[in-house]
Each structure stands twice: as C-alpha cells, then as structure tokens.
Amino acid sequence: MRIVSLMRLGDQEERLQEQFPELHFEFYKHPSCVPKESIEKMDILLSYHQEVNETFIKQATNLKWIMWYATGVNALPFETLKAQHIQVTNAKGVHAQQLAEFLFAFILDDYKEMKETFREQQSKIYNHKRTTPSVAGETILFLGTGVIPQRAAKIAQLFGMHTVGLNTSGHQVEGFNETYSIDEREKVLKKANVIVNLLPETGKTKYLLTRHDFECMNGQALFINLGRGTIVKESILIDVLKSNLIRKAYLDVYEQEPLKPESQLYNLNNVVMTSHITGNGDLNKKLATDIFINNLHHFLNKEPLNENVVDLNKGY
Amino acid sequence: MRIVSLMRLGDQEERLQEQFPELHFEFYKHPSCVPKESIEKMDILLSYHQEVNETFIKQATNLKWIMWYATGVNALPFETLKAQHIQVTNAKGVHAQQLAEFLFAFILDDYKEMKETFREQQSKIYNHKRTTPSVAGETILFLGTGVIPQRAAKIAQLFGMHTVGLNTSGHQVEGFNETYSIDEREKVLKKANVIVNLLPETGKTKYLLTRHDFECMNGQALFINLGRGTIVKESILIDVLKSNLIRKAYLDVYEQEPLKPESQLYNLNNVVMTSHITGNGDLNKKLATDIFINNLHHFLNKEPLNENVVDLNKGY
C-alpha cells in the first residue's frame, strides 16, 4: 500500500513509519516533486494543496482516500472525487484552539484599544482617566456553529458575552444563548456588536453576505472573518468599510488569496489584516496526523473511516 | 445623617437620592471642594482619593464609615481609622471584568504577535506561513487567588492553560490547578510561562518580589502587573528587563504613580505600559454604588456591614 504526502511532516514522518512499518510512505516537499508513477499508484494521499485539482485526481487512478491536512476542502474537485469513489477526511478541530485565541486577540485588541495604548506609551502619556468599553453584555453573532464557533462561544460566555449562532436549520447548539437559521439572519444582525464568520465555503455560503446584510448591521459592529474570504465579495466589503456601515473589520481570509499588495483593503484605516494564519499552529501537523492514524487503523481493517469524514455532497 | 462624596457620581447621584430621600447627600467634584463643616459632620464618606489621609480623617470626627470606590485601600491611614472606630468597605469585584479583559488582551497581544501583524499590514506583506505560539498548555502563575485572579484563572483554563495560584497559606481555590503559599514561590516560578501579579499592597506584599525572584523565572516568562506597582522596586524591574531575566513585561501599575515621563521604563523595548487603567470601566460607579446601597441598608438598620468589609489589620 502506497501513501503519498505532498508535504514534509517533520517528526510525524518517523512516527508514521514506526507505527506502520508494513506500509510504504513517500513524503515530498511540494506537489511538483511527485513522480507520475507515485500519483498513479498511490492508495492514500496526504495534502492541503490547490494542485490537487481535477487533472491531478484523474491521474490518481488507484487513489481511495485523501486525508486533507486543513479544514476547508472547498478547492477539491468534488464531482471527480465522487466519480472515482475517493473518500475525503479533513483536519477539522485541529485549528480550533489557534482560531479561538486569534478571535479573542482581535476582539480584545479592539475593545481594550491596544493601539491607543501603544500610541500613549510612545508619547510618554500617562492618562489614567482612560476608560475602555467592556465585552461583557455585548452580543456576539457567529456565522456557523461547528467545532470552532462552539469553542469560541464558550469562551465568549465566560467573558460575559451573549452568544448567538447561525446554522443551516437554526438547531440549538451548546454554548449559544440563541440560534437561528442562516436565512433568518436579518432579524439578528442589528443587535450584534461582534459578527464572526467561521463558515466553510460551499455552494450555499459563497457570496452569502450582500451589501444588504451589512446595511442591516447596527453601524457600530465589528466584523471578523476567520472562515473563508468568499463569504463576501471584496468589492462589497471595501464599499461597506468606506461607507462606515460597520465600525471595523478584522480579516484573516480574502476573496482572492494571496491578497495582492494592490488591494484597496490596504488603504483603509478601519481594517486589521492577517495573512490566513489564524489557524496555523506548531501542533497542527501532529494533531492532523492523530486524526489520520485513527482513520488509517480503520482503513487497514476495511472498516469505514470514522473521524472527520467529509460529505462530498455537502462540501464540508 | 450626612453622606459626603468626594467625587461626582453621575446618574448614581439621583439613584441614591431617590432611594434614600430621608438622607442628606453632598457630591463634590474633588476633595479640595469640600467645606470644613461637611468634613467635620459627615457620617459616611464616599471616596477613592489620596487626599483621604491622616490629617483629613482626624478632622472627620463624626465619621463612621468610608465606602472606598476602588479596590486597593493601601493609601488609607489604618491606625487613625482604627483609633476613631471607622469602618471601611471597598469596591472589590467591581473591576474583575475589566481586569480579566485586559489580562487576556495583554497575553494574546503577545502570543498572537499582534504588533508583528500590524507591521506586516503596513508593509503590505502577505506571509501565510507565519505561526504563532499557542497559550494552550502554558502555565500561568497568579500572585493572589482573590476574586479577580479566580475569574481570570477560569478563563485561562478554558483557553487550555495550566493555572497556579499563590496565596498566604497555599489553600486550594476554585479555578486553580495548583496552589502554593507565597513563601513557597521559588519552586513554581521556573515553570511559569506567564506570571500575573494581582496582589493588594500590604505590609507583607510591598517589595515582595526581589531580583532573586526574577532570577528564578525561566528567562522566557511574561510578567504582567495589574495589582500594585510596589510589588517590586522600579529600579529592580528595569534591571530585570535590561538583563533579559524575563522576556517581556506588561505593566499597568508603577512604584510611583503617576509614572513620570523620565522613567527609564519608557526606554525599554520589552515592556508594554498602560496608565493604571485596566480596572477602569463605565459601569464601575454603578457597580460600586450597588455595593454601597446594600451596605447602607444594613447601616441604617444598625446591622453590621456585610459586603466587602476591609479588615483594617490585614489591610485588604
């Protein structure tokens, strides 16, 4: 059995080879380094690269399973995967910790006015009268109620925030004071002080947010996007920020990635940006490999994969 | 009965007057505005001003109770208060929310490398390989296990941190994975990644931390002081930061306040400073007045005060 990784996995390579000495592993630095023969003969693929497209998959005639070392699988060619009966699992949950940390780094950076702090320090100003707003009592609205929003919502509650979640059906989820279906969002957008997108990109979520959604917000809202940049067109977001339909945005993901230096987003003073890094963590490869190993035991026993199996019809 | 406030209380003034129409309230903008007669005749004093010193108290011959609209009472003349049988209550707990928010604003500002984020944004750099350290698994050591550290420790645990608390006897407290007495601190300083001082200033805590304490830290520690600046001499702290005995400090309180622009702290690049503002909040006056009103009912019924009574022998 041939297992091909399109990235180096550091100390996880040894771990895999020691734990499964009967299997043949190949680790490459980049998709472009993989010999044609390996693509044709591999049974299992480890990757998170955009090079895994329709052309690539059609060459992989022996492929049975892709372990995606990231959460968002939207770049994969679902129809081809279905036609070739290839299963997909992902690294959902691995990024929850880092994302939750960044989410509160962003919220508290804003509410505790950290930039103003640095300005005062640089100017040697001791202004002990300064009062910053509190997150307690604020309403935080999550687009998505999956593993990551749940984790973040529980922390938000401990900070005294009121948590609202949007999901497909509006079903209740632990950690959320209220939940609604995404279609009902108009009635909750206005009362949200912080709006966080953590939805995956699917046919249903791509360009979900329109200018009207931002017009429904209360003008003072903070919009934080840690999900996928395609939740809203960049041109609409720029217009929203220029028109001050919201107070400020913290963005980690963009409609087009990598974000080009020419993007008008760089010219706005009410946006803080990171480079799709909020899920990155030193432990991610280890945690994703934990998931892979758990599933690999099942695969070798000819049992169904049981952790983080992606529904190719839903796209997440 | 005459109740004198050395500060204006905004809408809380009306609230008090409406709720206690039989009492005589006086609200002044500053201690210097209070007539001598009011000082001599007042039964109850509301204040948090350093002007409430021995001389002031000796003039207040009718005074029975001081409601201190802050937490730290270390500036009060305890011996004079005891001699005149004056009770003190404080606003302990009112600042817990704001302090907890600032604590995590500081920790996450550091761990998520927010300054580096701003630098990249300004330079239009899209560096999607950047990985930031996670607070999960890190050990956070609290000097103090009172209301504020307890609240912060619970949030720290939800972020996956290991919480250690130091108090007088080493008794267990909810929210802390381990607790030790302050005298045993040498054995836990080394393993702490984040060290937070939230101790009040008392005879026992003034200048508690010596250079030796910082030498016992692991060299990579983050030191955060939200308690009282007098926990360590400024000269020692400057030496510690210059010698890189710790990685970085976030300071809100100082040995001498207000901090003078000449302080050498301003010249260091491994310190972030705020101006004793981390307890400030728009709701503080309301929350402290809640405590005052609760106690005032007891006072008027000639019952013992029952909320936030300061032990004048312990000094907190």
Q: Which residue of A has its CA nearest to B259?
A: A126
- Is the same domain home to A39 and A164? no
Q: How far is B302 from chain A (nearest CA, A)?
A: 36
In a domain, B260, yes or no: yes
Percentage, residues of chain A above pLDDT 70: 100
φ and ψ of B167, to 5 deg:
-140, -175
Determine the residue among A274, A280, A284 to mutate to test chain B binding: the one whose Cβ has the most chain B Cβ atoms within 10 Å: A274
pLDDT single digits (tens) B137-146: 999 999 999 9
- Is the same domain home to B83 and B113? no
Residue B282: pLDDT band by 50, 70, 90 thresholds? confident
Contact A134 B104 (CB under 8 A): no
Q: Is B168 left (phi over 0), alpha (psi -120 to 50) or beta?
A: alpha
- Is the same domain home to B25 and B115? no
In a domain, A314, yes or no: no
CATH of the domain at A130: 3.40.50.720
pLDDT single digits (tens) B86-105: 999 999 989 999 999 999 99
Mean pLDDT of chain A: 96
Closest CA to B105 of A112, A252, A136, A156: A112
- Is the same domain home to A80 and A142? no
Quick one: CA torsion of A55, A61, A66, A71, rounded to 10 degrees? 20
pLDDT single digits (tens) A5-56: 999 999 999 999 999 999 999 999 999 999 999 999 999 999 999 999 999 9
* Domain total of chain A: 2
A177: tokens are 């004071």
In a domain, A278, yes or no: no
Running along chain A, 316 residues long, what does each successive block of 10 average in pLDDT?
A: 96 97 97 96 96 97 97 94 98 94 98 95 95 96 96 97 97 98 96 97 96 97 97 98 98 97 97 96 93 98 97 93
In a domain, B261, yes or no: yes
In a domain, A309, yes or no: no
- Is the same domain home to B179 and B296? no
Question: What's at A43, amino acid-wise?
Answer: D
In a domain, A185, yes or no: yes
- Scanning A126-145 for CB atoms below 8 A from B yields 126-136
Given a cut of 90, whether residue B286 has pLDDT beyond it is yes
- Is the same domain home to B84 and B208? no
Q: What range defines the domain where residue A6 resides? A: 2-94+283-300
Tell me how far apart the alpha carbons of residues B214 and B190 are, in angstroms, rounded to a whole number: 9
- Is the same domain home to B261 and B119? yes
Cis peptide bond upstream of A258, omega within 30: yes
Closest CA to B273 of A123, A111, A16: A123
In a domain, A173, yes or no: yes
In a domain, B49, yes or no: yes
pLDDT at site B258: 96
- Is the same domain home to B86 and B108? no
Interface ipTM: 0.90
